[in-house]
C-alpha cells in the first residue's frame, strides 16, 4: 500500500523527540451499502476509505494522529506534528522491519468486491418477500446490506510489519407491523467475517421470518409490568447483557485506571461457579473475529471468568504498560481515525448443563426475554440498562403472554452473582459495539441463562 | 492534488461518461483532542483528513460513490461505481441536481479567534479544570473523562448546474465525567460544553458545575415504583427530542415509519409546546447555510403552540407531496446518501426557572440524565423505556437522589402531557436544544 522505506522514515520521524514506541496503521477499505425499502432498492453507495494512523508512546503518554494524505511528505508532517507533543528527548530506536506471515483462520470464498450488485440485490428481494408475506399486518420492511473489504498494514518501531485483509458481510432486516393504530418493529441482523458466500447461504426464511414475527407478536403484546423478577434470557444475542454488564468492565480501557468495578480483583470470586466467560477472536468466520488485532497481535481465546473466578482482562499494548501486564490480542479500532484500545471480539458465556425446557419449567413467575435489543453500561459504576425486544411473562413454569416495553436495569457486578441457571444451548449473535475506539463488529453469545432477580422497568407499573 | 482541479475534472469526466447531471461534495477537516489523567496528558490526538463524494443522475437514477484516496485512479473509481449503483435502483430518484437558491443567509460558523488559540492554552485549561475538580471534594475519586476536542473543517458543494457553495466551520467541546465515592456508593456525573468562544470557558465555573453534578448523585434512596409527575431537565429533554426527531421527517411518514403521517395542521402537542429549527441560533454550534442538496436553510417553526406546522423535507420528499423543500436534505458526510434531518431543532423556552418548576410540585421526580435511548426508544411506535438518573422531589424541594431508575412512556403522549416549560434553554453539541419540561407523569421503576 505504501513503500516500506517510507514507513520506516515515518516510524523514525515519529520518535524524533524521544518517544519510545511508534506505529503506523494503513487502511485501504472498500465498502458497498445497499438499502431496500417499500419493496424497492432505494439507495446504493460504494466507496473507498483510505488513511493512515500514526501512534507514539512516551512512557504513559499516548499520541495519535491520522491523515488521508498518503504522500511521503504528508505522512512525515503528520508524524512530526504528533512527535511535537513530546517534550524533547533523544531520537528513539527503530528496529528493522521483519515481515510477519500467518495462516489466516478466516477463509473468504467470495470477495464481495468481485460480486455483481445484482446478486446482492436478489438476496435482498427474497428477504423482503419472506418478511412481507409473513402477515398482512407487516406494513414496511427495511433491508440494509453492507459489505466491507478492509486491507490493513501495521508496522511498528519494534520491527513488526504485518498485513491482513478483513471481510465483513451483513444483512439487517427490520420489519414494521401495524394494526392501523399502533406500530411495532422486529429486527434481525446476521453478519460474519466472511464474503458473499455468507449472505447467499443465509437461511432467509428464518431471519426475515423472525423479524416479521417479532413485529406482529409485539403488536398484540400487553404493557410490561415493573418490579423485581426472575429473568430468563435466551441464547444468542441475549449475551448482550453480559457484554454490557461485565464485558466492558473487563476491558483494560477501564481497568487500567481503576475505573471499573472489576479492577484489581484477579483471582476473586465474582460470579457463581456455573459462570465461565470467554472472549475468543479466533472463532472461524464469526462477526467479531480477526486474524490479527489492530496492533498486529494474533487474536486468541481469553478466558475472563472461569467457574466464577476472575481470570483475566482484555489488554491492549498501551494499557499493558500501565497495568504491567501482557497484551491479549484485543486491541481494536473502527478505522485509521481511531486510537486503538482494548475491546471485545466474540464474547460469550460457556455452555452449562441445564436444558432450556427445565429452566423455564422451574420458574414460577418471571420474564422470559426471547430477543434482546441493545444496552448500555457505565463501566465506572457497572450500572447497566437494556431494552428487551421480545419478552413474555412466565407463570407457573410456562411461557405466558407477550409483553412490550420491558427494560432491564441493574449493576453488572451484582447481576453476575445472581445467575442461577446456565443452559446447554450456546449460540452467538452479531452486534455493533460503540466505545472510544469507534463502532466495531462484535459477537455476543450465551446459552439460555436465568438471573434470580433483575429490576424490570415497564409502562404498566406494579 | 488540488481540489478545485480535481472537482472540475471529475464533473467534466462524469458528464462525458454519460451522466445527465452530477455533483461533487468535498469535506476537509482538522481536529485536536486531548485527555488529561491525574495531571498528565493521557492521550493527544491530531488529524487532517478529506474525502470526496460523487452524486450523479445516470439514465434518470441517482448513483453515489465516494473516496478518501484522491489520485488519478479515483476519478474512474467514482464514475464507475456511481453508475453501477444507479443501475440497480428500482426507480427514478424523483429529483435532479439543484441549481441553487436565490439567497443564502451567509451566517458565519467559523471563529477566527478560536482558530488562533494554541494547543498549550487548551491543555492548560483542561489541566486546571482537572486539578480544581480533584481538589473540590475528597469524595471525588478520579475523572474518568477529562477531554477537550476541537475541530475545524470546510465543505464544498459544486455541480453541473453551475452551483458552487462553500462553508467553513469550527468549534470546541469539553467533556468531563467525575467518579465520586462515599462508603460503598459510587456515582458518576458528567459535564459537556460546546462553544466557539474559548474566552467564555471559566475553569472555576466548569469545575464547580462538574463536581456538583457528580456529588449531587450521592446519597441515593429507593422510592416505590409508580407514576410520578416529572421535571425533565433541559439536557435530558434535549436528548429525548434528538432521539425522536426522526418522527418529523417526511421521508419517514412517506414510508409509514412515523405516526405523524397526515398530521400537518393538526394538534399533536400541548398548547405551550413550540419547536423551532434554527440553523443560526447564536447559542448553538450546529447549523449550516445550505443543506445536503445545496438548498438555502432558514429558521422554521415545526410545531407552533401544539400544532404541527410542517414536516421536514428534502427535494425528493417535497416532490412526492407537491410542496416546497424545507432545506432539510441531510448529507452526514461525503460517505452518505441523502436523507432528511433537522439542522438545529429546539423546544422554545417559557418563563419559569427550573427551581420554580420544582417548587410547584408536591411530589415528583427530577430527571437529569437518560441512558440507553439508542435501544430503549422506538421512533416508530413512540414508546420509550430507558434508564434514568434523577432526584426525588417532595413538597417542592429536592429530597434525595434516586437509585438507578427506568422511566417509560410514549413520546406522542409526552408532547401532549407537557404542563409547563422552563426558561433554561440549553443546546447539546449535536444540535438539539430544550429547556426543562414539566410533564404530567411517566411510569418510574427504581432498582
How many Cβ atoms are within 10 Å of B17's Cβ, its own excluded?
16
Note whether A176 and A268 are same-domain residues.
no
pLDDT tens, residue by residue, B188-241: 999 999 999 999 999 999 999 999 999 999 999 999 999 999 999 999 999 999
Note whether A380 and A303 are same-domain residues.
yes
| Min distance A302 CA to chain B CA atoms (Å) | 26
pLDDT tens, residue by residue, A320-347: 999 999 999 999 999 999 999 999 999 9
Asked if residues B442 and B409 have their Cβ atoms less than 8 Å apart, the reply is yes
Tell me, yes or no, whether A155 lies in a domain: no
> What's the CA angle centered on A36, arms A33 and A38, to 5 degrees?
160
Q: Residues of A with CB below 8 A from B74's CB?
A: 48
Note whether A126 and A244 are same-domain residues.
no
CA A435 – CA A385 distance, rounded (Å): 16
Phi, psi of A97, rounded to the nearest 5 degrees: -75, 130
Helices (H), A135-203: 196-200
Q: Residues of B with CB below 8 A from A47's CB?
A: 53, 65-68, 81, 335
Tell me, yes or no, whether A404 lies in a domain: yes
pLDDT tens, residue by residue, A46-70: 999 999 999 999 999 999 999 999 9
Tell me, yes or no, whether A39 lies in a domain: no
- pLDDT band of B93, cuts 50, 70, 90: low
Asked if residues A460 and A226 have their Cβ atoms less than 8 Å apart, the reply is yes
Q: What is the mean pLDDT of residues A159-167?
A: 98
Chain-chain contact of B381 with A459 (C-beta, under 8 angstroms): no
- pLDDT band of A180, cuts 50, 70, 90: confident
| Min distance A133 CA to chain B CA atoms (Å) | 17
Q: For position A460, what pLDDT does the model report?
A: 73
CA B292 – CA B325 distance, rounded (Å): 12
Does A181 have pLDDT greater than 90? no
| Min distance B380 CA to chain A CA atoms (Å) | 6
| Min distance A68 CA to chain B CA atoms (Å) | 5
CA A257 – CA B225 distance, rounded (Å): 36
| Min distance B179 CA to chain A CA atoms (Å) | 7
Instruction: Return the sign of the alpha-carbon dihedral for residues B397, B399, B400, B403.
Output: negative
B319 vs A44, B22, B102, CA distance in Å?
Answer: 21, 20, 19
Specify the 3-state DSSP secondary structure of B107. coil
Is this structure's pTM higher than 0.80?
yes
Q: What is the mean pLDDT of residues A151-166?
A: 98
Note whether A425 and A408 are same-domain residues.
yes
Note whether A297 and A326 are same-domain residues.
yes
Does A18 have pLDDT greater than 80? yes
Note whether A211 and A237 are same-domain residues.
no
Asked if residues B29 and B152 have their Cβ atoms less than 8 Å apart, the reply is yes
ipTM over cut 0.90 = yes
The average confidence (pLDDT) of chain A is: 95
For chain B, the maximum distance between any two Cα atoms, rounded to a whole number of angstroms, is 74
- pLDDT band of B391, cuts 50, 70, 90: very high
Asked if residues B310 and B131 have their Cβ atoms less than 8 Å apart, the reply is no
Q: For position B374, what pLDDT does the model report?
A: 87
Q: What is the CATH number of the domain that holds A72?
A: 3.30.160
> What does the block give as the cell for B12?
467534466
Asked if residues A108 and A148 have their Cβ atoms less than 8 Å apart, the reply is no
Q: For position B173, what pLDDT does the model report?
A: 96
- pLDDT band of A450, cuts 50, 70, 90: very high
Specify the 3-state DSSP secondary structure of A157. coil
Chain-chain contact of A386 with B375 (C-beta, under 8 angstroms): yes
Does B290 have pLDDT greater than 80? yes
Q: What is the CATH number of the domain that holds A144?
A: 3.30.2290.10
> DSSP string of B371-385?
E-HHHHB-TTT-EEE
Tell me, yes or no, whether A246 lies in a domain: yes
B327 vs A219, A222, B288, CA distance in Å?
Answer: 35, 40, 10
Chain-chain contact of A62 with B42 (C-beta, under 8 angstroms): yes
Q: Long-range contacts: A2-5, Cβ < 8 Å, 24+?
A: A2/A26, A2/A52, A2/A70, A2/A75, A2/A153, A4/A97, A4/A155, A4/A161
Chain-chain contact of A459 with B227 (C-beta, under 8 angstroms): no
pLDDT tens, residue by residue, B37-48: 999 998 899 999
Asked if residues A78 and A66 have their Cβ atoms less than 8 Å apart, the reply is yes
| Three-state helix/strand/coil letters over A142-156 | EEEEEEEEEEEEEEE
Q: Give, as one character, the DSSP assignment of residue A113.
A: G
Chain B residue with CA closest to A61: the answer is B42
Candidate from A81, A409, A462 with C-beta closest to B406: A409
Chain-chain contact of A380 with B85 (C-beta, under 8 angstroms): no
pLDDT tens, residue by residue, B310-336: 999 999 999 999 999 999 999 999 999
B130 vs A87, A392, B125, CA distance in Å?
Answer: 21, 47, 9
How many Cβ atoms are within 10 Å of A93's Cβ, its own excluded?
11
Chain-chain contact of A385 with B406 (C-beta, under 8 angstroms): yes
Closest among A138, A126, A139, A142 to A204, alpha carbons compared:
A126
Task: Work out whether strand A301-306 and strand A309-310 pair parallel, antiparallel, or are unpaired.
Answer: antiparallel
Q: Quick one: residue A59, left, alpha or beta (phi over 0 = left, psi -120 to 50 = alpha)?
A: left
Burial B165-186 (b: 16+ CB within 10 A, else e): bebebbbbbbbbbbbbbeeeeb
Q: Give, as one character, the DSSP assignment of residue A262.
A: T
In DSSP terms, which residues pair with B172 in a beta bridge? B150, B195
Tell me, yes or no, whether A104 lies in a domain: no
Q: For position A461, what pLDDT does the model report?
A: 63
Q: Residues of B with CB below 8 A from A61's CB?
A: 40-44
pLDDT tens, residue by residue, B334-388: 999 999 999 999 999 999 999 999 999 999 999 999 998 988 999 998 999 999 9
Note whether A308 and A395 are same-domain residues.
yes
If one counts the domains in chain A, the total is 3
How many Cβ atoms are within 10 Å of B234's Cβ, its own excluded?
24
pLDDT tens, residue by residue, B422-434: 999 999 988 899 9
Tell me, yes or no, whether A58 lies in a domain: yes
pLDDT tens, residue by residue, B160-196: 999 999 999 999 999 999 999 999 999 999 999 999 9
CA B249 – CA B308 distance, rounded (Å): 12
> What does the block give as the cell for B148?
477537550
* CA atoms within 13 Å, Cβ hemisphere of A245: 27
Chain-chain contact of A226 with B41 (C-beta, under 8 angstroms): no
Q: For position B34, what pLDDT does the model report?
A: 95
| Min distance B102 CA to chain A CA atoms (Å) | 29
CA A48 – CA A28 distance, rounded (Å): 7
Chain A residue with CA closest to B255: the answer is A38
Q: Residues of A with CB below 8 A from B65's CB?
A: 45-47
Q: Residues of A with CB below 8 A from B337's CB?
A: 35, 43-45
Domain ranges, residue A76: 4-34+45-99
In DSSP terms, which residues pair with B147 in a beta bridge? B35, B175
Top-level CATH class of B112-155+165-216? alpha beta
Tell me, yes or no, whether A297 lies in a domain: yes
- pLDDT band of A316, cuts 50, 70, 90: very high
Chain A residue with CA closest to B46: the answer is A65
Candidate from B89, B225, B337 with C-beta closest to A462: B225
Domain final position from A219, A241, A257: A219
Chain-chain contact of A257 with B144 (C-beta, under 8 angstroms): yes
B431 vs A74, B190, B243, B282, CA distance in Å?
Answer: 33, 18, 12, 12
Note whether A10 and A121 are same-domain residues.
no
Chain-chain contact of A46 with B226 (C-beta, under 8 angstroms): no
| Min distance B381 CA to chain A CA atoms (Å) | 5
Chain-chain contact of A68 with B48 (C-beta, under 8 angstroms): yes
Asked if residues B86 and B93 have their Cβ atoms less than 8 Å apart, the reply is no
pLDDT tens, residue by residue, B239-256: 999 999 999 999 999 998
Chain-chain contact of B40 with A386 (C-beta, under 8 angstroms): no
How many Cβ atoms are within 10 Å of B116's Cβ, its own excluded?
9
- pLDDT band of A462, cuts 50, 70, 90: low
> What does the block give as the cell for B303?
410545531
Query: Which ranges in chain B are annotated with CATH 3.30.2290.10?
Result: 112-155+165-216
Q: For position A182, what pLDDT does the model report?
A: 86
Note whether A200 and A59 are same-domain residues.
no
* CA atoms within 13 Å, Cβ hemisphere of A270: 26
Q: For position A43, what pLDDT does the model report?
A: 93
Beta-carbon contacts below 8 Å between A and B: 247
Q: Residues of A with CB below 8 A from B263's CB?
A: none
Candidate from B67, B186, B408 with C-beta closest to A405: B408
Helices (H), B93-231: 112-116, 119-136, 203-216
Note whether A184 and A271 are same-domain residues.
no
CA B110 – CA B103 distance, rounded (Å): 20
Note whether A134 and A260 are same-domain residues.
no
Chain-chain contact of A404 with B383 (C-beta, under 8 angstroms): yes
The average confidence (pLDDT) of chain B is: 95
Candidate from A51, A68, A375 with C-beta closest to B372: A375
Note whether A95 and A116 are same-domain residues.
no
Candidate from A61, A224, A462 with C-beta closest to B40: A61
- pLDDT band of B447, cuts 50, 70, 90: confident
Q: Residues of B with CB below 8 A from A44's CB?
A: 63-64, 85-86, 88-89, 337
> What does the block give as the cell for A76?
512525515
Cβ-count burial of B69 within 10 angstroms (0-12 exposed, 13-18 middle, 19+ buried)? middle
Chain-chain contact of A380 with B188 (C-beta, under 8 angstroms): yes
| Min distance A64 CA to chain B CA atoms (Å) | 5
Q: Which helix (H) or strand (E) holds A55?
A: strand A40-58
Tell me, yes or no, whether A157 lies in a domain: no
Q: Give, as one character, the DSSP assignment of residue A237.
A: G
Chain-chain contact of A51 with B407 (C-beta, under 8 angstroms): no
Specify the 3-state DSSP secondary structure of A63. strand
Amino acid at each position: 500500500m505504501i513503500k516500506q522505506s517510507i514507513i520506516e522514515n515515518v516510524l523514525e520521524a515519529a520518535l524524533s523527540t524521544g518517544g519510545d514506541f511508534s506505529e503506523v496503521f494503513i487502511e485501504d477499505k472498500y465498502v458497498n451499502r445497499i438499502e431496500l425499502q417499500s419493496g424497492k432498492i432505494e439507495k446504493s453507495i460504494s466507496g473507498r476509505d483510505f488513511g493512515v494512523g500514526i501512534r507514539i508512546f512516551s512512557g504513559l503518554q499516548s499520541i495519535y494522529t491520522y491523515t488521508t494524505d498518503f504522500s511521503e511528505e504528508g505522512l512525515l508532517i503528520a508524524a512530526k506534528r504528533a512527535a511535537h507533543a513530546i517534550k524533547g528527548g533523544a531520537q528513539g530506536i527503530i528496529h528493522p522491519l521483519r515481515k510477519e506471515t500467518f495462516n489466516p483462520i478466516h477463509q473468504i470464498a467470495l470477495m464481495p468486491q468481485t460480486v455483481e450488485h445484482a446478486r446482492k440485490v436478489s438476496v435482498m428481494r427474497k428477504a423482503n418477500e419472506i418478511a412481507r408475506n409473513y402477515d398482512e399486518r407487516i406494513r414496511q420492511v427495511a433491508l440494509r446490506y453492507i459489505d466491507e473489504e478492509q486491507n490493513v498494514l501495521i508496522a511498528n518501531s519494534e520491527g513488526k510489519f504485518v498485513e491482513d485483509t478483513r471481510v465483513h458481510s451483513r444483512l439487517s432486516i427490520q420489519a414494521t407491523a401495524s394494526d392501523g393504530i399502533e406500530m411495532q418493529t422486529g429486527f434481525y441482523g446476521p453478519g460474519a467475517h466472511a464474503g458473499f458466500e455468507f449472505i447467499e447461504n443465509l437461511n432467509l426464511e428464518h431471519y426475515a421470518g423472525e423479524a416479521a414475527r417479532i413485529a406482529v407478536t409485539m403488536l398484540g403484546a400487553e404493557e410490561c409490568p415493573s418490579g423485581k423478577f426472575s429473568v430468563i434470557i435466551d441464547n444468542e444475542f441475549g449475551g448482550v447483557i453480559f457484554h454490557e454488564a461485565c464485558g466492558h468492565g473487563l476491558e483494560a480501557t477501564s481497568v487500567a485506571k481503576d475505573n471499573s468495578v472489576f479492577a484489581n480483583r484477579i483471582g476473586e470470586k465474582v460470579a457463581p461457579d456455573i459462570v465461565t466467560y470467554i472472549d475468543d477472536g479466533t472463532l472461524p468466520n464469526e462477526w467479531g473475529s480477526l486474524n490479527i488485532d489492530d496492533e498486529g497481535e494474533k487474536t486468541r481465546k481469553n478466558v475472563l471468568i472461569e467457574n466464577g473466578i476472575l481470570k483475566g482482562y482484555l489488554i491492549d499494548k498501551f494499557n499493558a504498560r500501565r497495568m504491567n501486564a501482557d497484551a491479549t490480542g484485543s486491541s481494536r479500532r473502527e478505522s485509521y481515525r481511531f486510537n486503538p484500545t482494548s475491546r471485545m471480539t466474540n464474547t460469550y458465556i460457556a455452555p452449562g448443563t441445564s436444558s432450556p425446557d427445565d429452566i423455564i419449567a422451574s420458574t414460577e413467575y418471571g420474564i422470559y426475554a426471547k430477543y434482546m435489543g441493545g444496552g448500555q453500561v457505565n463501566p465506572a459504576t457497572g450500572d447497566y440498562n437494556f431494552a428487551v425486544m421480545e419478552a413474555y411473562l412466565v407463570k407457573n413454569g410456562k411461557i405466558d403472554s407477550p409483553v412490550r416495553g420491558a427494560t432491564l436495569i441493574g449493576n453488572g457486578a451484582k447481576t453476575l452473582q445472581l445467575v442461577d441457571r446456565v443452559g446447554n444451548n450456546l449460540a452467538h449473535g452479531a452486534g455493533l459495539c460503540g466505545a472510544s475506539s469507534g463502532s466495531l463488529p462484535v459477537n455476543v453469545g450465551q446459552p439460555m441463562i436465568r438471573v434470580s432477580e433483575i429490576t424490570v422497568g415497564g409502562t404498566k407499573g406494579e | 492534488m488540488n481540489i478545485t482541479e480535481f472537482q472540475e475534472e471529475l464533473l467534466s469526466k462524469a458528464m462525458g461518461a454519460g451522466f445527465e447531471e452530477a455533483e461533487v461534495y468535498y469535506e476537509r477537516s482538522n481536529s485536536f483532542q486531548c485527555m488529561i489523567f491525574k495531571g498528565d496528558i493521557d492521550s493527544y490526538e491530531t488529524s487532517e483528513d478529506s474525502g470526496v463524494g460523487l452524486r450523479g443522475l445516470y439514465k434518470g437514477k441517482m448513483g453515489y460513490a465516494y473516496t478518501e484516496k484522491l489520485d488519478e485512479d479515483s476519478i474512474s473509481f467514482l464514475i464507475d461505481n456511481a453508475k453501477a449503483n444507479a443501475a440497480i435502483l428500482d426507480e427514478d430518484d424523483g429529483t435532479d441536481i439543484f441549481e441553487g437558491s436565490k439567497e443564502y443567509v451567509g451566517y458565519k460558523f467559523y471563529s477566527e479567534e478560536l482558530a488562533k488559540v494554541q494547543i498549550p492554552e487548551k491543555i492548560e485549561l483542561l489541566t486546571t479544570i482537572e486539578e480544581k475538580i480533584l481538589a473540590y471534594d475528597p469524595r471525588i475519586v478520579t475523572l474518568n473523562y477529562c477531554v477537550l476536542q476541537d475541530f475545524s473543517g470546510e465543505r464544498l458543494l459544486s455541480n453541473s448546474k453551475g452551483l458552487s457553495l462553500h462553508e467553513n466551520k469550527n468549534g470546541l467541546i469539553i467533556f468531563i465525567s467525575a467518579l465520586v465515592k462515599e462508603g460503598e456508593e459510587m456515582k458518576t456525573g458528567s459535564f459537556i460544553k460546546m462553544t466557539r468562544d474559548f474566552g467564555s470557558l471559566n475553569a472555576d465555573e466548569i469545575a464547580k458545575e462538574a463536581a456538583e453534578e457528580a456529588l449531587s448523585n450521592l446519597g441515593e434512596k429507593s422510592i416505590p415504583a409508580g407514576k410520578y409527575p416529572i421535571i425533565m431537565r433541559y439536557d435530558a429533554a434535549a436528548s429525548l427530542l434528538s432521539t425522536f426527531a426522526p418522527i418529523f421527517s417526511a421521508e419517514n411518514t412517506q414510508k409509514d415509519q412515523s405516526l405523524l403521517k397526515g398530521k400537518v395542521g393538526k394538534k399533536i402537542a400541548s398548547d405551550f409546546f413550540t419547536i423551532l429549527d434554527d440553523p443560526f441560533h447564536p447559542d448553538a454550534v450546529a447549523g449550516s447555510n445550505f443543506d445536503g442538496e445545496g438548498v438555502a436553510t432558514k429558521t422554521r417553526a415545526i410545531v407552533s403552540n401544539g400544532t404541527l406546522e410542517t414536516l421536514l423535507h428534502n427535494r425528493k420528499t417535497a416532490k412526492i407531496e407537491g410542496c416546497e423543500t424545507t432545506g432539510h436534505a441531510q448529507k452526514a458526510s461525503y460517505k452518505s446518501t441523502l436523507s432528511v434531518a433537522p439542522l438545529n431543532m429546539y423546544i422554545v423556552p417559557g418563563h419559569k426557572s427550573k427551581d420554580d418548576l420544582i417548587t410547584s410540585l408536591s411530589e415528583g421526580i427530577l430527571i437529569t440524565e437518560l441512558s440507553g435511548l439508542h435501544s430503549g426508544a422506538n421512533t416508530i411506535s413512540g414508546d420509550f423505556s430507558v434508564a434514568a438518573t434523577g432526584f426525588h422531589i417532595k413538597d417542592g424541594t429536592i429530597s434525595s437522589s434516586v437509585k438507578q431508575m427506568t422511566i417509560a412512556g410514549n413520546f406522542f403522549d409526552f408532547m401532549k402531557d407537557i404542563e409547563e416549560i422552563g426558561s433554561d434553554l440549553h443546546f447539546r453539541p449535536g444540535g438539539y436544544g430544550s429547556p426543562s419540561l414539566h410533564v404530567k407523569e411517566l411510569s418510574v421503576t427504581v432498582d
